[in-house]
Chain A
Amino acid sequence: MRSQAMFFKARVGDKLADRVLQENLGKAKSKFVDARARAVAEYERDEGADFEALREAGKEIRNRTLANLDVWLETFEAKATERGGQVMYARDGAEICRLVTEIAQRHGVNKVVKSKSMLSEEAALNQALAAAGIQPIETDLGEYILQINDNEPPSHIIAPAFHKSKEQVAELFMRTHGSSKKSGIEEMTREARETLRGHFLSATMGISGGNFLIAETGSVSLVTNEGNGRMVTTLPKVHVVITGIEKVIPTLEDFATLMRLLPRSATGQHISNYVSVLTGVKGADELDGPEHLYFILVDNGRASLVGTEFQEMLRCIRCGACMNHCPVYQTVGGHAYGWVYPGPMGSVLTPLYTGIANALDLPHAATLCGQCSVVCPVKIPLPELLRGLREKQVEMDLRPWSERIALRLWGWVARRPKLYALATKIGVRYLNWLADGTDRIQVLGVAPEWTRGRDFPAPEGRTFRELYAERRTGQGR
């Protein structure tokens, strides 16, 4: 998928003005947050259960493999190969598309069923398959809704159709399935089930992502609620796993630990309905399972993070908690971010994977409130990484001249205490005048853009320095 991240500001304007989207986001935003909070509290009811300790353990597991990623990858590869899988590597999206198309052609495949794979979004795989005459079918309900809406990109990594209302889905189903318009979510889900069932049974190749690669056993794990992950890896004769090189973890015990973190952080479930650990191909006497198993391990920017200040980002287990808890994401939705990954993790990943200069606004699309790093199950310090990217922009001379001059001016004034005191005094009086006796400013005179979608809080009368001086001389309250 081509990044549109450079148009963040323009898109934000559109998203804030989109009444339907704002209504949909308003309805959805607290559900994941509440569910996670409840799940964490329920977890801690058991003796010896401390979610903080779990997060620390999750972080350590991910750090362990990243610290020696080359050796862990080789270990996984040897084990997976021994069990009959074929391990391949792809440098970028184009290589993913080429490998998958070749595999499909080798096995005479003309229809592919897919469970959710964000990497196939990075690669725009569906378009490539279609161009090669192979029909790709998305089977995650959210992904399916987007696919039939002209390949609309996902707006959330866990709930791809987060931004859609049920009325919009009903409309879409009626148009695509030629059926009568449904009003209930249950009826719509059944309609999708019946439509997709036929595809599951007739497709000869399944494509999945992978939540983790387990080095000890050469397995891939898949976590779903719908059961589509199981379908695409049980029924077709070919299974292709597309996942990032950073997904490898050591042992089955580590997997058990991470599975206490992932569902609670993602959807607030104690466990997802289906957790599969898949190893190798179907045995000679087995009644189901794929005969051919391929792993495509993808770089697409990941290797360049190894050994840098941004390596911590590679711990990400794609739970979506950071975006669920992000006030910016909650307000603008996922599409504004312009590429595959939205929210705080997207604001870090998009510039790192697609080029810092191509996503200048994203590291600034955060209030740095820190909630994302509080909920991240593997303790990624997202605000610090965002700040690191901001610093990079300055080092690379990528900030606009107006900002650079403003900062230089500020620096000059700030180094002259008397002048600074005077300037803030005037500033505060000016803001109070704008607020006109209320506690907020509706149009900020010097920067009207800032108040287009929000109010500016008015300062409380005088400057900090004035109040402080007053206290020091004992005249204060």
Chain B
Amino acid sequence: MDAREDILFRVRVALGRTDANRPAAAADVQAAFAARSQGPRPQLGADLLARFRHESGVQSSSVDEVATLDEVPAAVARYLAERQLPQRAVVWPKYAALPWAQAGLAVEARAAQGDDAVGITGCFCAIAETGTLMTCSAPDTPAATSLLPETHIAIVPLSRIVAGMEDGWALARAELGELPRAVNFISGPSRTGDIEQTIVIGAHGPYRVHLILVRDC
């Protein structure tokens, strides 16, 4: 017997699977998919923005806020200058058209490579409960941009802040239909506690995550 048949056979025997009780099992699967019932979750109140800002801080992300998308490049330039980082970045193709050059930034719209220092992305939505970005991969939103560079800057429209992960899934189902290849939930810079359980920021991913909230977009 091949491994698949063998394993499934043993599971079926152990569960007492018969032709008679199989429909009930299949019905339970369908019922779960139809209901998509949510587990217990915290009630966050009305001010999701305040919560998102607070939790982002807990996750060691820094936060800035601007009025419109067009103001983002200047905010990026300011952030990089303050930290004496190079005024050069890769950006999601989705945001290629923002006035980067005007702000004095050399920006390329492509997937990030190993030696890119700064990556600029947006997000599919942002989750207030934990200060988390939810990103969805697509041709104009590649996953590596938020991962390879030492500095990750993310554009977060206020209109895309939701309460919890469940709300992110609901948005994804409504707007994308099926899930993209990669949904990444990102909560601050990468870290490790593997040596003496001492938390160190900057493991394999970014050392810094900077969020630029955008009011009108």
A residues in contact (CB < 8 Å) with B: 24, 27-28, 31-32, 43, 46-50, 53-54, 57-58, 61, 64, 67-75, 83, 88-91, 95, 139-142, 145, 159-162, 164-166, 169, 185-186, 188-190, 193, 196-197, 200-201, 215-217, 219, 225-228, 230-231, 233-235, 245, 250-257, 259-260, 267, 270-283, 285-289, 297, 299, 303-304, 306-308
The distance in angstroms between the C-alpha atoms of A139 and B26, with both chains bound, is: 40
Q: Is the beta-carbon distance between B142 and A225 smaller than 8 angstroms?
A: no
The secondary-structure label for the interface of chain B is loop
Known: A71-B22, A271-B130, A286-B138. A245 touches B187 (CB 8 A): no
Residue B123 at the chain A interface, CB threshold 8 Å:
no
Residues of B in contact (CB 8 Å), total: 78
**Min distance, Cβ A38 to any Cβ of chain B, angstroms:** 12
Of B33-41, B63-71, B78-86, the one touching chain A: B33-41
- Greatest chain A CB density within 10 A among B42, B188, B190, B196 is at B196
Q: Is the beta-carbon distance between B200 and A160 smaller than 8 angstroms?
A: no
Partner of A91, one of B6, B43, B144: B6
Residue B95 at the chain A interface, CB threshold 8 Å:
no
B residues in contact (CB < 8 Å) with A: 2-4, 6-8, 10-12, 14-17, 22, 25-26, 28-29, 32-33, 36-45, 55, 58-59, 110-111, 114, 129-132, 137-139, 142-144, 147, 164-166, 169, 178-198, 200, 202-206
Contacts of A188 in B (CB 8 A): 195
Partner of B132, one of A233, A271, A285: A271
5 closest A-B pairs by CB: A227-B205, A257-B39, A46-B42, A226-B203, A307-B14
What are 17 A-B residue pairs whose CB atoms fall within 8 Å in the complex? A47-B44, A47-B45, A49-B42, A70-B15, A71-B29, A91-B6, A217-B179, A231-B147, A251-B32, A252-B36, A254-B32, A260-B41, A270-B55, A286-B137, A286-B139, A288-B143, A303-B11
Contacts of B25 in A (CB 8 A): 68, 70-71
The distance in angstroms between the C-alpha atoms of A375 and B137, with both chains bound, is: 36
Residue of A nearest to B31 (CB): A250
Partner of B205, one of A57, A185, A226, A270: A226
Q: Is the beta-carbon distance between A159 and B147 smaller than 8 angstroms?
A: no
Known: A48-B42, A273-B205, A303-B10. A159 touches B194 (CB 8 A): yes
The distance in angstroms between the C-alpha atoms of A27 and B204, with both chains bound, is: 25
Residue of B nearest to A261 (CB): B39
Known: A91-B6, A225-B191, A227-B147. A306 touches B43 (CB 8 A): no
Partner of A226, one of B10, B180, B181, B204: B204
Q: Is the beta-carbon distance between B194 and A142 smaller than 8 angstroms?
A: yes
**Min distance, Cβ B47 to any Cβ of chain A, angstroms:** 13
Q: Is the beta-carbon distance between A68 and B111 smaller than 8 angstroms?
A: no
